[in-house]
């Protein structure tokens, strides 16, 4: 019986691609490999048996892929664990005053929430609006601006002049400086944390339930407690300031 070097009984030699593309569980992948491997041994040409280095090569390939699969599982567990820690930290900010930046603009009743951004240097400004899937909804060429604070002037309409649906949209301000460098500027936000919402799997702090003002947890720059703010305000009033 003649045995091809590339195929044995129509079964291709084992490879990392074969294992990774099965789409089955690790147990089934291991079982499939062992069946393929024993079939190769059973039907190999006795006059030209598999060499020891070929045997070692296939075993090494399987061992490497199995270890990578296990490593991916551990990384997935670690990622979920870190996400749970971040979520717990975000919940701890409820009823705290925070300030920082945001990459989300919310439309409620057809009206986008009011946002402002700060330019630290002059340049050409473009405001880009995307849906949560990353598809561009609108690009607004603002033009040349000096350093300072400006409002995001978006009427809540898309490229074609249609009113967008209520909900959350991604926003970014692109600044092309006078030296030709492109920078991304995010709107400034502050407020009291009323809750938390997940957008695209990431935690966002809700700063205003009525307008939908939100801030990504990772964009928080300063945190205050209401008690400390009240004490500071009281001290200022006593001093007549």
Sorted by where each begins, the domain ranges of the chain are: 16-89, 96-223
* Collapsed DSSP state (helix, strand, coil) of residue 200: coil
Question: 88: which 2 tokens?
Answer: 């717990």
Q: Specify the pLDDT at position 92.
A: 78
Distances in Å between the Cα of 190 and the Cα atoms of 100, 101, 215, 219 are 6, 8, 8, 11
Using CA atoms, how far apart are residues 189 and 204, in angstroms rounded to an integer? 13
Radius of gyration of the chain (CA): 29
Question: 110: which 2 tokens?
Answer: 């057809």
Nearest to 118 by CA among 94, 96, 149, 92: 149
pTM of the model: 0.61
Q: Specify the pLDDT at position 196.
A: 87
Using CA atoms, how far apart are residues 225 and 232, in angstroms rounded to an integer? 11
- Residue 87 in contact with residue 202, Cβ under 8 Å? no
Nearest to 219 by CA among 233, 205, 198: 205
Task: Compute φ and ψ for 236, nearest 5 degrees.
Answer: -65, -40
Spatial strand order of the sheet with 202-208 comes to: 195-199, 202-208, 213-216
Using CA atoms, how far apart are residues 9 and 36, in angstroms rounded to an integer? 10
Q: Specify the pLDDT at position 85.
A: 64
Using CA atoms, how far apart are residues 111 and 154, in angstroms rounded to an integer? 9
Q: Specify the pLDDT at position 199.
A: 86
Question: 164: which 2 tokens?
Answer: 């967008």
pLDDT digits (tens, 9 = 90+) for 36-84: 767 766 666 666 665 666 666 766 766 676 677 677 776 765 666 566 5
**Given this structure, which CATH class describes domain 96-223?**
mainly beta
Residues in the chain, pLDDT under 50: 1-28, 230-241
């Amino acid at each position: 019986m003649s045995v091809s070097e590339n195929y044995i009984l129509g079964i291709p030699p084992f490879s990392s691609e074969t294992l990774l593309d099965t789409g089955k569980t690790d147990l089934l992948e291991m079982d499939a490999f062992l069946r393929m491997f024993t079939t190769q041994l059973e039907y190999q040409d006795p006059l030209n048996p598999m060499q020891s280095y070929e045997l070692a090569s296939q075993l090494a390939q399987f061992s490497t892929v199995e270890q990578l699969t296990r490593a991916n599982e551990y990384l997935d567990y670690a990622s979920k664990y870190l996400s749970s820690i971040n979520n717990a930290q975000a919940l701890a900010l409820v009823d705290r005053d925070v300030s920082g930046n945001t990459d989300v603009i919310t439309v409620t009743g057809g009206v986008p929430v009011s946002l402002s951004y700060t330019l630290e240097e002059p340049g050409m400004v473009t405001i880009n609006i995307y849906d949560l899937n990353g598809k561009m909804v609108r690009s607004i060429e603002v033009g040349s601006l000096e350093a300072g604070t400006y409002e995001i002037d978006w009427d809540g309409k898309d490229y074609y002049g249609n009113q967008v649906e209520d909900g959350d949209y991604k926003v970014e301000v692109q600044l092309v400086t006078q030296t030709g460098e492109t920078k991304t500027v995010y709107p400034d936000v502050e407020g009291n944390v009323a809750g938390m919402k997940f957008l695209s799997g990431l935690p966002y702090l809700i700063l205003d339930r009525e307008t939908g003002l939100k801030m990504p947890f990772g964009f928080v720059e300063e945190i205050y407690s209401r008690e400390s703010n009240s004490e500071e305000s009281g001290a200022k009033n006593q001093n007549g300031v």
